[in-house]
């Protein structure tokens, strides 16, 4: 299952033990980094400590979702096209991190019995799989307050831009939590999601796959530093070309039942992919 929508939204996503008041944010997305724009919608629903994200492509048949149960720290990934789902919890993350550490330890022990040529090849393989050498640390992004204001879907927001190595890579219009319908409750629910993905990033800090979580943590950090949620953001290449736009279209409160945070009836559970369990 592969979705081309911004993972920052896919992973910023979910569950109440009983029916009760919840909050729904709806977004429009545009992916512009291909031959044709990819248009889609994202719906993020929160209730209590839980969050659910639904992603639908208007341009293709892609459709999926993510549920995060804050109370038991469990993530459920939904594949609507296949009618499948997989789950991941904190214990599994810890087990996977231990497997990675064990594999690295065994590979390092085996280096002692290798010829120089074999050792060079093995070290290259380790570096490709686990990034065992530390790269030069990039300077942190610079957040620039543009001092101007905007409005998205009737919600007031403040304009910022993010600079990396002196070049603009992102534009944000950030709404204060109190200006969003149900914003304070949503902020509380998303804290659990932040902590869960931070534990994943820490557990697999050397893996190429975790680069996406570094980007996630940048967005999460900005949410905390700017005390709000980006109701509009645009990503740019270093050359200044916009490649992605995400825009809030609606924010509202409604009753959300507990079943909403479970996989749909009839969906089949699948095991984690090989190497992730």
User: Global pTM?
Assistant: 0.73
What per-residue confidence (pLDDT) applies to 20? 58
Quick one: pLDDT at residue 8? 44
Rounded CA separation 226/228 (Å): 6
pLDDT of residue 13: 35
- The pLDDT of residue 103 is 73
**pLDDT at residue 130, rounded to an integer:** 58
pLDDT the model gives residue 93: 78
Q: How many Cβ atoms from other residues are within 10 Å of residue 136's Cβ?
A: 5
Structure tokens at 256: 């959300």
The residue ranges of DSSP E strands in 17-117, in sequence order, are: 20-31, 38-47, 50-57, 63-69, 74-79, 84-89
Q: Which residues is 236 bridged to in the sheet?
A: 242
Question: Can you give the pLDDT at residue 9?
Answer: 42
Question: How far apart (Å, rounded) are the C-alpha atoms in residues 168 and 234?
Answer: 10
Opening angle at CA 231, ends 228 and 232, nearest 5: 125
> Mean pLDDT for each 10-residue chunk of the chain (277 residues)?
42 38 91 88 91 82 84 89 89 77 76 79 68 59 93 96 92 92 85 78 57 55 79 91 94 90 94 58
* Predicted pLDDT at 219: 63
Tokens of 268: 């089949």
Angstrom distance (rounded) from CA 128 to CA 115: 20
Q: Residue 78's pLDDT is what?
A: 92
The residue assigned the tokens 């892609």 is: 62
């Amino acid at each position: 299952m592969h979705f081309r929508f911004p993972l920052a939204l896919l992973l910023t996503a979910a569950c109440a033990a009983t029916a009760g008041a919840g909050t729904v944010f709806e977004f429009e997305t545009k992916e512009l980094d291909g031959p044709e724009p990819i248009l889609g919608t994202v719906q993020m629903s929160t209730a209590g400590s839980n969050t659910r994200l639904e992603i639908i492509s208007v341009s293709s048949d892609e459709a999926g979702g993510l549920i995060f149960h804050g109370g038991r720290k469990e993530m459920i990934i939904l594949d609507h096209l296949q009618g499948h789902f997989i789950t991941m919890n904190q214990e599994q993350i810890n087990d996977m991190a231990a497997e990675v550490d064990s594999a690295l330890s065994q590979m390092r022990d085996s280096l002692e019995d290798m010829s120089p040529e074999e050792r060079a090849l093995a070290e290259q393989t380790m570096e490709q799989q686990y990034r065992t050498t530390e790269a030069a640390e990039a300077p942190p992004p610079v957040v620039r307050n543009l001092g101007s204001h905007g409005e998205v879907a009737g919600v007031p927001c403040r304009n910022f831009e993010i600079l990396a190595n002196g070049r603009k890579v992102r534009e944000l219009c950030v709404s204060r939590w109190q200006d969003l319908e149900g914003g304070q409750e949503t902020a509380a629910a998303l804290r659990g999601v932040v902590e869960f993905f931070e534990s994943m990033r820490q557990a697999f800090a050397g893996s190429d796959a975790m680069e996406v979580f570094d980007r996630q943590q940048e967005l999460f950090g900005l949410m905390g530093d700017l005390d709000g949620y980006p109701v509009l953001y645009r990503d740019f290449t270093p050359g200044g070309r916009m490649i992605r736009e995400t825009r809030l279209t609606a924010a509202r409160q409604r009753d959300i039942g507990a079943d909403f945070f479970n996989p749909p009836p009839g969906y089949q559970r699948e095991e984690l992919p090989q190497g992730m369990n």
